[in-house]
């Protein structure tokens, strides 16, 4: 999950970063935190609209937080918005940008955790998640972050956009959890996410990261047909 902190006060910025790290450790989830010093810096970054949540200071020099939130929405930002403020003066304006929470400065950890609880509820409703066993922990992983899974040296490895994870589930158990499309069990030791396939060759799927995943010889025709059918379906949907 990608979190933006847009805050021009260094002390408040540091506090929110600390709360993010605390929440990440406490809940065992992966958070990527991006910090902007002001609204102008955030609005100039085209990648900002793809974040999952935005913690936004209302009173900043230049563009105010409320105005920045309206601009972000107009650009297509669909994530959660949380305002951090010294006053509830702009509470009503928050409805215009569908803000899910207000935090009064200095932001306490319990207040931050409540905001994150609301964010996660929205995120899980919009993004399909699975739970995997990672050592003695349980991790909640967005399904679409998984590029492919493989069994190597009797270990199940998830290759994700955030790195590799060795999990304790078997590949067959993982296949049941993933539940079919967009995933394809193309070989005894491999499951691929078909959206991350760069090209289908005669004997392998070439993944976008350059990996070559073998196609089972005895099911080659069936597997290729499933992949082609999925791609045509995606084209029709778009």
Residue 140: per-residue pLDDT: 80
In the chain, what are the domain boundaries?
A: 2-126, 129-237
- Distance CA(103)–CA(158), nearest Å, equals 36
Is CATH 3.30.1360.170 correct for 2-126? no
CATH 2.40.50.1020 fits 129-237, yes or no: yes
- Euclidean distance between CA atoms 56 and 103, whole angstroms: 10
Is 70 exceeded by the pLDDT of residue 88? no
Residue 93 structure tokens: 């304006």
Q: Which of the four pLDDT bands, split at 50, 70 and 90, describes residue 93?
A: low
Give the 3-state DSSP-derived string for 59-94, with helices as H, strands as E and coil as C: CCCCCCHHHHHHHHHHCCCCCEEEEEECCCCCHHHH
pLDDT over 80 (residue 168): yes
- Residue 176 burial (10 A CB sphere; 0-12, 13-18, 19+): exposed
- Which pLDDT tens digit goes with each residue over 169-211? 999 999 999 988 899 999 999 999 999 999 999 999 999 999 9
pLDDT digits (tens, 9 = 90+) for 48-79: 998 999 999 998 888 889 999 999 999 989 89
Q: Give 95-116 pLDDT, tens digit per residue.
A: 678 899 999 999 999 999 999 9
Which of 13-17, 30-34, 39-43, 231-235 shows the lowest per-residue confidence on average (mean pLDDT)? 231-235
């Amino acid at each position: 999950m990608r979190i933006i902190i847009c805050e021009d006060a260094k002390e408040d910025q540091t506090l929110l970063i600390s709360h993010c790290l605390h929440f990440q450790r406490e809940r065992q989830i992966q958070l990527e935190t991006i910090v902007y010093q002001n609204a102008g810096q955030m609005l100039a970054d085209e990648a900002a609209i793809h974040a999952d949540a935005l913690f936004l200071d209302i009173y900043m020099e230049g563009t105010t937080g409320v105005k920045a939130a309206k601009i972000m929405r107009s650009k297509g930002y669909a994530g959660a918005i949380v305002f951090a403020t010294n006053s509830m003066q702009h509470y009503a304006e928050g409805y215009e940008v569908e803000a899910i929470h207000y935090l009064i400065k200095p932001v306490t950890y319990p207040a931050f955790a409540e905001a994150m609880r609301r964010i996660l509820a929205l995120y899980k409703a919009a993004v399909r998640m699975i739970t995997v066993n990672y050592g003695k922990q349980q991790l909640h992983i967005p399904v679409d972050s998984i590029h492919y899974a493989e069994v190597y040296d009797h270990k199940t490895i998830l290759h994700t956009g955030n790195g590799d994870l060795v999990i304790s589930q078997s590949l067959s158990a993982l296949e049941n959890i993933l539940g079919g499309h967009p995933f394809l069990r193309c070989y005894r030791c491999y499951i691929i996410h078909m959206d991350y396939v760069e090209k289908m060759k005669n004997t392998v799927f070439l993944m976008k990261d350059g990996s070559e995943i073998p196609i089972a010889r005895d099911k080659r025709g069936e597997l290729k047909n499933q992949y082609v059918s999925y791609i045509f379906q995606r084209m029709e949907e778009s």
